[in-house]
Amino acid sequence: MPKSQFIDPAKVRQSSKIEFKDIPVNQYDKSIEEEKVNFSKEQFIGIYHDMVLIREFETMLNEIKIKGEYQGIGYNHPGPAHLSIGQESAAVGMAYHLDEQDFIFGSHRSHGEILAKGMSAIHKMDDDTLMDVMKHFFDGTILKIVSENHQGDLKSLARRFLVYGTLAEVFARETGFNKGLGGSMHAFFTPFGVYPNNAIVGGSGDIAVGAALFKKVNQKEGVVVANIGDASMACGPVWEGLAFASMDQFEQLWEGAYKGGLPIIFNIMNNQYGMGGQTCGETMGYDIAARIGAGVNRDSMHAERVDGYNPLAVIDAYQRKLELLKDKKGPVLLDVLTYRYSGHSPSDASSYRSKEEVEAWEKQDCITSYGAELVQSGVVAQDELNAIKADVTELMKYSMTLAIDEEVSPRMDLVKHPELIGEMMFSEGSEDKMEDRPVEVNHPMEENPRVKQIAKKERFAFDANGKPFSKIKQYQLRDGLFEAIADRFYKDPTLVAYGEENRDWGGAFAVYRGLTEALPYNRLFNSPISEASIIGTAIGYAMCGGRVIPEIMYCDFLGRCGDEVFNQLPKWQAMSGNVIKMPVVIRVSVGSKYGAQHSQDWSSLVAHIPGLKVCFPATPYDAKGLMNTALQGTDPVIFFESQRIYDIGEQFHKDGVPEEYYEIPFGEPDVKKEGKDITILSIGATVYRALEAAKELEEKYGMSAEVIDARSIVPFNYEPVIESLKKTGRILLTSDANERGSFLKDMAQRITELAFDELDAPPVVVGSRNWITPAYELEDYFFPTKDWIMDAVHEKIVPLKGHSVANNFTNAEIIRRSKLGI
């Protein structure tokens, strides 16, 4: 909503019609003869070779899956193998022009793309760079294996490297490209520009856009290709990726070198089936997938259907589309028509298609027909093609023999190193900046209006007499967040932040107020209302080496980016074998007052997912310190904030919130008030209600309560809680999350396990009711209050003399509610 853009009613209300540009379909019609001016013999043969390489790789896996052997070598591979036999020309055509600076993202069926892109990169890289890559990848482990008995040039060594590394990964070997932690559906190799392949259909549809954003924001060479299946065009996140990639602001608001479209090609590998569902005629309505482009932007995404059965047609299309991207005219949509003969997976009986159909496509097989044309047009003799086939078969036998050798290619030894995977879940890095170059900002920090305003605020909430300053004078929690984030923007040139209303408005809760003045569009911008793309692009951005703060305005919207938060963000560091780092700090705001879809604390949901760090500060001091830590790290952090306390002042840190930079380590709970009779452990904004309860316990019942603020929940150090418990013997846990299945329950169980003998009563959880959140006026019946805490203490922990309860915490009531599921 920039003021520079005037929405003129006279103009927008005018009568007119939308005219679509034509979307070409299979218009390539050149023969080999005609293409001889564009391709050398080596290039023609190279294309053939790469297709054969893929075909043989997939055939090998197919034989292993179906017969348990390949070329007489027996092996059992119980893991997945989604093969692309028939699609080789589409993959090779896609990769032909791309070098290692161009990044491809793929799907569960991407072996072909890995090999095609890998070969293309190998061809284009100079020997020194290539050697350097192989030498340094996992300390040269793979290179050492494939170098043995190798004869030939470096390119052929690199081919071995590529095939072996991919196959070892498919077989889950520690010597695979991702230490065997990715496997068939996730294998990738970033030094060749092969970025994560995704087992979630359409998963790359928004992640790849983030990679393109990284290229643009950080002015990097190269383009990004999102290889996604035709069936993924039904997935919301793919559409969100399209929407994000085609935002007008790139052209209309971004300035200078940043102006213009994202360098991305959505490459639909259109094999015409989504598992067994036929996209044209059954499960989709686009008829020709390229049609989708018409609905996305004025340029119809330069969409085109290309005959993917002809590698030269695909190469031709890429040549033209890459020119468009060079002119900053992206995004581009390509509908690359192809066909897979192999089943979706080896268990596929192809019951959804006729034998005749498969045979008809086989008759036009992309490799056979391309080879025949090459021979026909005199480029190459059949013998040479046969020799290629024989050579590739030998390469596969060689690679397979090595990859299944337990000595050469062992799996991770989890007996010897039981925590190996555990140690890979987080990268635990500490990086001031992700790249070393000047930061792009609009003015020095001290000239910033928000910075000037904060300078006048009181960094501790109370004056010398213990009287609180007025709210407006107090340095608030939102100021703590601002300081940490602004500081990082001035340190890390790669840092970007975006989300809904992040620019101009300053974020819905005024955390970013002042940042609009400080930062150009390419560092802070408004995203579409499209959480999957907000998080998905952030993941892609981080995968490429950037640091990013995506914002989810209300916690309740986390569901809108469920796959991104649950399946993508937490997984890629470990699944890459720690090749990839994920410095993504998702700001999530927990609401209140706005009812059932704007008031939920879902910290428990993300805490459940391995691979995410989760924190929830409740004071300005903690907010700034934890945000600094989150932004200094290289791990994904879900950073919860509560709308109840954005304006809270610092009540605990007597010296006030430091102006300088400091970090608060994740996982360390903080004692907000000492006591000896009962411990109250809080997550988030409930800490203030816990303190009220502590006050009443003390004044009315002579019990001194220790109030501990968890601050972060993943990781979490239980030791201080156990220490407190040793003193008090009693513990109550509280947060605004629904109590059923909440993280508090997990903590209660852990505490019981770790300190059973210290307990004088079971750990008692006081969370919200398992209801919808009612209106603001009824919230006291839904969210924990001081009185709930008092009642729970009385009922479940230690009867308070003379206390009369208003809320039912009895066992009978718990059983009743559980029976009803409420």
Residues that bind other proteins in the complex, under the rule CB under 8 A: 677, 699-703, 729, 756-761, 795-802, 811
Which position among 77, 598, 653, 803 bears the catalytic label? 598
Residue in 141, 120, 65, 55 with CA at minimum distance from that of residue 402: 141
How far apart CA 555 and CA 601 sit, in angstroms, is 7
Whichever of 496 and 800 has its CB closer to other proteins, that residue is 800
DSSP label of 76? -
How far apart CA 184 and CA 689 sit, in angstroms, is 50
Whichever of 644 and 796 has its CB closer to other proteins, that residue is 796
User: Which two three-digit tokens encode residue 392?
Assistant: 């590739």
415 — phi, psi (to 5°)?
Answer: -80, -50
CB 524 within 8 A of CB 515: yes
How far apart CA 16 and CA 92 sit, in angstroms, is 43
Q: How far is CA 262 from CA 202, 209, 214, 332, 537, in A?
A: 19, 8, 9, 9, 12
Is 635 strand, coil or helix? coil
Minimum Å distance from CB 676 to other proteins? 11
H-type helices in 96-195, by residue range? 111-124, 127-136, 141-147, 154-170
Residue in 358, 368, 267 with CA at minimum distance from that of residue 310: 368
Minimum Å distance from CB 755 to other proteins? 9
Kind of pairing between the strands at 548-552 and 496-499: parallel
DSSP label of 677? S
Burial pattern 711-727, b for ≥16 Cβ within 10 A else e, equals bbbbebebebbbbbbee
CB 598 within 8 A of CB 554: yes
Whichever of 452 and 676 has its CB closer to other proteins, that residue is 676
Residue in 558, 583, 602 with CA at minimum distance from that of residue 742: 602
Minimum Å distance from CB 731 to other proteins? 11
DSSP label of 705? E
Whichever of 1 and 812 has its CB closer to other proteins, that residue is 812
Whichever of 332 and 800 has its CB closer to other proteins, that residue is 800
Q: Which residues contact 287 (CB under 8 A, 6 or more apart)?
A: 280
- Residue 653 catalytic? no
Give me the residues paired with residue 25 across strands.
305
Minimum Å distance from CB 798 to other proteins? 6
Whichever of 124 and 803 has its CB closer to other proteins, that residue is 803
Minimum Å distance from CB 810 to other proteins? 9
Residue in 676, 681, 645 with CA at minimum distance from that of residue 767: 681
In the chain, the amino acid numbered 13 is R
Torsion-angle region of 399 (φ positive above 0: left; ψ -120 to 50: alpha; else: beta): alpha
Whichever of 47 and 764 has its CB closer to other proteins, that residue is 764
Whichever of 500 and 696 has its CB closer to other proteins, that residue is 696
Minimum Å distance from CB 581 to other proteins? 44
Is 229 strand, coil or helix? strand
Whichever of 443 and 676 has its CB closer to other proteins, that residue is 676
CB 94 within 8 A of CB 104: yes
Is 39 strand, coil or helix? coil
Minimum Å distance from CB 283 to other proteins? 58
DSSP label of 446? G
CB 644 within 8 A of CB 616: no
Active-site residues, by number, are 598
